[in-house]
Every structure is written in structure tokens, then in C-alpha cells.
Amino acid sequence: MSILQTPPPAKLVCSIFSQQEGLINRVVDALHGTYGNTDFKSPVIPFDITSYYEPEFGSSLKRIFISFAELVSQDALVDIKYATNKLEQEFSLEGKRQANIDPGILTAERLVLATGKNFSHRIYLGRGVFANLTLIYRKDSFMTLPWTYPDYASKEVIVFWNNVRKAYLKVISETIARNSKITSGVSTNQI
């Protein structure tokens, strides 16, 4: 029988795209208000997409990836997706989104994005939100999967996620070391 345990917290990450770089920055500022400071932010990069988003957003989109310094519980992803959807609505104009925010969590093993769209490789989390396993970590780097979005598969983006993972592992390691110092020499009756 497996022993059920709470997994370590994860790194909250987001992808944000829009036609307007200034709007992307305003979205990042709004996310700071809720989730704290970012510790990694990719350069603004062109987002070459299929025609899926073009009717809503137009063409010539720009995108950034960010990660937040403060870790989150892995089971918070549903609530985070609801919060980012609400933020998208706040930045909408005449019923059309002006920015798209895709939240996710990064752990030592994987990058998972939250989505409202079902598909064969997506796991239902609850309240209409699915987990989209986007990248897995193997052999010293994140690796793509057959369904990984092309914009997450470029070498530059993989390097970005590898750097975020290194920072995440450092925080986890420091937390474990700090917690072991706190509990060393303390009897279980004192904890």
C-alpha cells in the first residue's frame, strides 16, 4: 500500500500573451499583487500561433513566461486558474480578451499547465479545470511530449524552464535544511 503524503510546494509559473507589450506588463503587475514577486521573466518573444487564437486576439502577438519567488501548494492550481481567468476578464475590452494568461506549476519532475479544455492526455482536477502535462524532466533537461505546444518546445524556452527548475530546487533544498535545523535535537513531544 502506498503511503499518502502531501507533495512539496511547486513553483507558480505563467505564460502571458497579447498584442500589446504594455498590457503584458500590466498583467504581470496585477499578478504580483496576488502572488508576490517574480524571480524569472523571459524576454518578450513573438508568439507565432495557429489560427486558433487569431479571431480573438489578432496577429503579431507577444509572449512572456514568468515564475514567482513564493512557492504554492500543488493543489492550488484550480483556484489559480480561476483567478487568472478573472484577471483576463478584467483586462477584456468589449467582451474580447486582450491578454491570455496560462498558469501552471513547475516541480522537479514536470511542468503542468492549467486549462479548461479536455483532451486524452489531460487529467481533470475539478471545477472545470484540467492539468496539461507539458514537459517532463529527464537526463538533465526538460523534455517535450508528443502533445507539447511548439512554443514550449524551443531550445530557448527549455533553457528558461531549466533555469527556473534550478532556482526551485535551491529553495526546496534550503527549506529542507532549515526545517531539519529547527527539528534537530528536539524531541517529538516538543513538535
Farthest-apart Cα atoms in the chain, separation: 63
Total domain count for the chain?
1
* Residue 189, C-alpha cell as written in the block: 513531544
Residue 70 vs residue 185, higher pLDDT: 70
Contact (Cβ atoms closer than 8 angstroms) between residue 113 and residue 102:
yes
In a domain, residue 132? The reply is yes
pLDDT attached to residue 152:
95
pLDDT attached to residue 191:
35
pLDDT attached to residue 182:
67
| CATH number of the domain residue 41 falls in | 3.30.70.260
In a domain, residue 186? The reply is no
Torsion sign, CA atoms 70, 152, 166, 179: positive
Position 190 confidence tier, pLDDT thresholds 50, 70, 90 = very low
Of the listed ranges 50-59, 60-69, 73-82, 94-103, the one predicted with least confidence: 50-59
pLDDT, the chain, mean: 92
Q: DSSP state, 121? A: T
In a domain, residue 34? The reply is yes
In a domain, residue 187? The reply is no
> Rounded to whole angstroms, how far apart are CA atoms 151 and 118?
20
What is the span of the domain harbouring residue 35?
A: 10-181
The per-residue pLDDT for range 50-62, each reduced to its tens digit, is 678 888 888 889 9
